[in-house]
Amino acid sequence: MIDCLIRGGIVIDGTGSEPRVANVGIEDGRIVHVGSDETDARDVLDVKGLTVAPGFIDAHAHSEFTILADGRAEGKLFQGVTTEINGNCGLSAAPLHGEAAERREEDLRELGIGSRWSTLSEYLSLLEARGTAINFATLCGHGNIRASVLGYRDVPPDAAALSEMRKILTDSLREGAVGLSTGLIYPPGLYADTRELIELSRVLSREGRGGIYTSHMRSEGDALLESVEEVLCIAREAGVRVHVSHIKTAGRHNWGKIDRVVELMDAARKEGISLTCDRYPYVAAATDLDTVLPSWVYEGGVEEELGRLRDPAAVARIRSELGSRGDDYWGGVYVSSVSGDENRWMEGRNILDISSRMKKSPVDAVIEIVMDERARAGAVFFSMSEDNLRRFLRLPYTMIGSDSSARSMSGPTRSGNPHPRGFGAFARFLGRYVRDEGLMSLSEAIWKMTCLPAVTFGLKERGLIREGYHADIVIFDYERITDAATFEEPWRRAEGVVHVFVNGVPALRDSEPTGALPGMVLR
């Protein structure tokens, strides 16, 4: 007698094969039976008419700290996500030494996290002890490495510093990181040149663990083509697999670059380069508000950034450099989160409206908000093309990533006005783009969310409905699955996901969280 029999569902196994009606058996956290015949089970779940698929893998998550503060991860479970790839955009939970650790203190205090750690091994052990509802895998952030060795200064590493950076990356890979990520618009990643990134990426090859280089590129707009070329240069020079994070064409005047972007990526793959990318199914991005400022403002860390914003000469230079941005631009930048109660009214409003109420120019309003919030205000940016989004989603090497952290409907992670992708990305992709628009078959869509990311990030025995694999399974109503979260009301759960198993344990039953924390750290 096995633990559970999922009976009579429409099984889409993650390989891209056609759906078929079958029974799926679970025992000791593994899939032990897939077929038309039945077997005795302690728990029988009749799912006739529902779709049974491998648990969805979020290829681009940022849950390093939220999942430690609250492991329930309800926003992801409601969408059918059973595994996340974290540590993206150059920021991971570890390593944290020196200035890298100092920079994270406010994040940890805000979430009520009392524990501290330095190495990835220490962090992963802490996460395992706390428990999570979903599986956790992570990249090692280049920003962490650079800040740990060089701080937030715009300087190249000398031989000794580069050697120390290589050692930190090597240690992190041996402790369980699945690759190296960069965030080349954020300090300190933006201070690294291509040669530094190649040298660190060579560590991935030397370690022989199949690690991957992922990149939030230097530009997703004006210098988009040059940024794609840099990723391909790193792939060739370092001999590593590469992955472009949240591929996009930002800014209306850059939308026409998509043809050349796809040409570059397709040609690289034909050349033999292993290249993949991820994308969320929205035309608005989200990151820190201070990224609208010129990059020279950030150098040296938060205190130096704030000092420049108090310097009349620096402010005059900022006004000059941002002066060409008109109302269309500022009307598309929305404040999503603030920490100070006096600025709470700003959440969900665009900079144009906020500046009008403040009786300031948009640039001066941004400067004041960044200063008030000590560079911690979040923002949403509407700058992308719907047609280009569809084209990127259709690429056979694009997987789905929410670009969001795991949050729950209550507790320490419920704060601000976050991007709705944290509660709707996967349901929106399936409901709007696959079912309603017919962008691709359901089997291909499931493959993009399961097998493709599992293979890309080296998640063994996950991503398929196959005997012997870990029983990460989502059961959903394809006719009903949809996102409900909006930019105005992001705290709304996705609809249509009925049951979720994580390592064979029900984490969502009849569309409600069970409270179980069966997730594993995937080293």
Instruction: Note the pLDDT of residue 209.
Output: 61
Give the tokens for residue 477. 């109503």
Residue range 133-164, pLDDT digits in tens: 999 999 999 999 999 999 999 999 999 999 99
SS3 content of the chain, % helix, strand, coil (to 5): 40, 20, 40
Of 68, 74, 76, residue with least CA distance to 125: 68
Instruction: Note the pLDDT of residue 417.
Output: 87
Residue type (1 letter), 64: E
Intrachain domains 2-55+468-478+494-513 and 56-283+384-456 with the same fold: no
Residue 130's contacts (CB-CB under 8 Å, 6 or more residues apart) are: 68, 71
Parts of the chain with a pLDDT under 70: 207-210
Q: What DSSP character marks residue 215?
A: E
Nearest-angstrom CA–CA distance, 512 and 407: 15
For domain 2-55+468-478+494-513, the CATH superfamily is Urease, subunit C, domain 1 (2.30.40.10)
DSSP three-state, residue 143: helix
DSSP three-state, residue 516: coil
Place of tokens 């209306």: 252
DSSP three-state, residue 80: coil
User: What is the CATH architecture of 56-283+384-456?
Assistant: Alpha-Beta Barrel (3.20)
Q: List residues bridging with 166 in a β-sheet.
A: none
- Starting at the earlier edge strand, list the strands of the sheet with 56-58: 56-58, 81-86, 135-138
SS (H, E, C) 385-413: CHHHHHHHHHCCCEEECCCECCCCCCCCC
Nearest-angstrom CA–CA distance, 464 and 447: 9
Instruction: Note the pLDDT of residue 416.
Output: 85
Q: CA triplet 493, 497, 501: central angle to 5 degrees? A: 115
Give the tokens for residue 482. 């949809």
Residue range 37-59, pLDDT digits in tens: 999 999 999 999 999 999 999 99
Name the pTM for this structure: 0.95
Q: Are strands 284-288 and 241-244 parallel, antiparallel or unpaired?
A: unpaired
Nearest-angstrom CA–CA distance, 453 and 245: 13
Q: How many CB atoms are located within 10 Å of the residue 516 CB? A: 17
Nearest-angstrom CA–CA distance, 403 and 282: 11
**Dihedral sign (CA 180, 186, 189, 194):** positive
- Cis bond leading into 188, ω under 30°? yes
Nearest-angstrom CA–CA distance, 289 and 261: 27
For the chain, what's the residue count?
Answer: 523
DSSP three-state, residue 519: coil
Domain parsing of the chain, residue ranges = 2-55+468-478+494-513, 56-283+384-456, 288-382
Instruction: Note the pLDDT of residue 454.
Output: 98
Angle between helices 302-309 and 312-322 (to 10 degrees): 90
Instruction: Note the pLDDT of residue 210.
Output: 65
Instruction: Note the pLDDT of residue 340.
Output: 82
DSSP of 119-175: SHHHHHHHHHHH--SSEEEEPEEHHHHHHHHHTT------HHHHHHHHHHHHHHHHT
Give the tokens for residue 500. 């979720």
